[in-house]
Amino acid sequence: MKQDTVLNFGAQLPTIPEGMWPFRITQAEVERNCRTAYGIRDRVALTYEFQIEGEEHLLRQRYLASNVPKSRLYEMVLALLGTPMGGSFDVVSLVGISGKAVITHNASESGDVYANINEIVDVDRDDAGVL
């Protein structure tokens, strides 16, 4: 992996182009007691590794911890595992899952542009839970 040592104080731009790209989840963790627009909540942070034209790109996506069927986390877990979350869920079970994800770019009012996973497709769960 290439070490990034440059600080850029201009608008943030994504390193992952829009499109459908192969990924593998390399890390999953729970971030406790985070300040959010909805108060203090737990979040799940997933690190996706993308291989694009022979280069590795990492994308860390955060999801509010929620098992409500319309939540982003619930929908993502359903897409990744093919089954809904229950009353208890170990996020490490997502590590090792690979597939393809649709990346879209979203711009903020300040001019920053972020790469986000819009959809998960073609999931391979054979290595799920492998650290």
Contacts of 2 (CB under 8 A, 6+ apart): none
What is the per-residue pLDDT for 92? 95
- For the entire predicted model, the pTM comes to 0.85
What is the per-residue pLDDT for 125? 77
Confidence of residue 86 (pLDDT cuts 50, 70, 90): confident
Q: Long-range contacts: 73-76, Cβ < 8 Å, 24+? A: 73/44, 76/46, 76/117, 76/120
What is the per-residue pLDDT for 30? 97
Q: Which residue has the higher pLDDT, 114 or 124?
A: 114
In our burial notation (b when 16+ CB lie closer than 10 A, e otherwise), range 48-78 reads: bbbeeeeeebebebebbbbeeeeeebbbbbe
For residue range 10-39, list pLDDT tens digits in order.
888 898 999 999 999 999 999 999 999 999
For residue range 43-82, list pLDDT tens digits in order.
999 999 999 999 999 999 999 999 999 999 999 999 999 9
